[in-house]
Amino acid sequence: MASNRRPPKRRPAARRPGARRSASRIKWDRVGRIALVLVLFAVAYSYLNPAIDLFKTYQSTTAAKAEFHELLRENKRLHKAVQSADKPAVVEATARRQGMVAEGETPFVLHGLN
């Protein structure tokens, strides 16, 4: 025989004494998002100063390289001038620019050419 018995009804769980029935006034999802944004700004700010220093270092390195190459060109030019200074033609031209006269030549001084 089939019984028409129904399962016993469940009673609602008893409430804890400290539980509130109303909704929380603090929106924790919004607080979490704001805290996350603040942390992201703090991390971005902590990377700002090293990035600025890196940019300044790059600029100064570029300027130093340009100055180095300019000084290198000047060094080569001066080195060639020193190497060619021992040649007799260069020595004679330098002496004549300074007003010297070769042995056996007669010096002339001209006035009023202006």
- pLDDT at residue number 31: 93
- pLDDT at residue number 18: 62
Residues of the chain with pLDDT below 50 are: none
CA distances from 105 to 81, 99, 110 (A): 28, 13, 16
**What are the structural domain ranges in the chain?**
29-97
pTM: 0.45
- pLDDT at residue number 21: 60
